[in-house]
Amino acid sequence: MASFLGKNLPDSIWKPDVLYLPEPLLEAHKSFLEEQGWWAEYDPNVHGNIGGATADEAKEHIINRFLNSAARMGFVCADPMDTQPEVREMVLDQLGEGQIFLLDLAAGNGAGTLSMLSLICELRAKKCVPKLPVNVHITGVDYSSAALKYYSEIMGKLDPWLKSNGLHVNLSLCPCDLAVVGDFGEVFESFLDESKRASVNRFLCVISAISGINSEGMGAISDSLKHAATGLSSKKRNSSWLWVEPHIGKKKAWVPKVFVTVNLTLKKIAHRFIQKGDTFDIKADDEVPTLEDAQPRSFQWLDPYKNKAINSNVIVVAFKNE
């Protein structure tokens, strides 16, 4: 694929210094909130929670955090300033044509993945990228059944638009606690089995907005993340990993260590991932890639409901098994 630059973005996505979310994604979110009778509750200034531990948290997240999460993913995939073009290239390449199996971990209401698909669809609709047919088989994993239900409803609303632009999505949603590696192992096995049946060896694992989990919770799910990375590490597979988080402050300086252990596992590089109190350490005999280059970025996106530009920040890491 010819290289795509920030200056090629349509003005439905980027007008100087402000990111716009694709209109069909906004319509889908808004009509979902209206149908639930939750539209009047939209107030992004209320203090956020991490998402899905309870039905109330799942509800609050879909009302008030969905757009912000979608904006972070949209910004790093559009990359208007060409700051980390390898991320945009990876996404456009992996979802450009053919078939791909996408594992959405701690998927919640799917804000990140739905935003990524909507951006690609908008680029296709505006003829910025080719409209070749692509089949995306998504497995979304989260312990919140409520959040997964919202994911499926919003996907249902977007589906006709995605299809009309050649993006054929098959969504399987799996309620599962990632802290129980045995349960996740079964979900992951089915995911791989399905890919084998479809003779597909292209994979993308997406993680978006989970750094709200405390270090104990992250320690508990890290075995599942590494289990997925191990399964996708085979050289026979073409595996990519995309991880998008809000800016991680000093208090959460341990989060990048989790990025590193997943990257090293995916690349089959020997190391030890050690939990030390409320932080983590990586030990390896040889020098290992540290992903230190990932710098937080600030940006603005338009909140269409309040017609107001919102300041946000994001960090993204993307890596492959080779």
Ligand X SMILES: C[S@@+](CC[C@H](N)C(=O)[O-])C[C@H]1O[C@@H](n2cnc3c(N)ncnc32)[C@H](O)[C@@H]1O
Nearer to ligand X, 121 or 314 (CB): 314
Q: Is 212 in the site for ligand X (CB under 6 A)?
A: yes
Nearer to ligand X, 123 or 141 (CB): 141
Q: Is 221 in the site for ligand X (CB under 6 A)?
A: yes
Burial state string for 140-172 with b = 16 or more CB within 10 A and e = fewer than 16? bbbbbebbbebbebbbebbbebbeebbbebebe
Nearer to ligand X, 24 or 51 (CB): 51
Question: Are 265 and 259 a contacting pair, CB within 8 Å?
Answer: no
Among 101, 143, 203, 280, binds ligand X (CB under 6 A): 143
Helix or strand or coil: residue 239?
Answer: strand
SS (H, E, C) 166-192: CEEEEEEEEECCCCCHHHHHHHHHHHH
Q: Is 69 in the site for ligand X (CB under 6 A)?
A: yes
Q: Strand 272-276 to strand 279-283: parallel, antiparallel, or no bridges (unpaired)?
A: antiparallel
Please calculate the CA angle 178-51-68 and round it to the nearest 5 degrees: 120
What does the DSSP 8-state code read for residue 128? S
x/- track of binding to ligand X for residues 101-120 (CB under 6 A): -----xxx--xx--------
Nearer to ligand X, 213 or 271 (CB): 213
Rounded to the nearest whole angstrom, what is the least distance from the CB of residue 197 to ligand X in the complex?
26
Among 144, 222, 240, 261, binds ligand X (CB under 6 A): 144
- Give the binding range for ligand X (CB under 6 A) out of 7-15, 47-55, 196-204, 235-243: 47-55
Residue 199's contacts (CB-CB under 8 Å, 6 or more residues apart) are: none
Rounded to the nearest whole angstrom, what is the least distance from the CB of residue 49 to ligand X in the complex?
8
27: left (phi over 0), alpha (psi -120 to 50) or beta: alpha
Structure tokens given for 175: 């309620």
Q: Closest-CB residue for ligand X?
A: 52
Among 50, 200, 288, 309, binds ligand X (CB under 6 A): 50
Among 52, 80, 246, 256, binds ligand X (CB under 6 A): 52
Site residues, ligand X (CB under 6 A): 50-52, 61, 69, 106-108, 111-112, 142-144, 147, 177-179, 208-210, 212-213, 217, 221
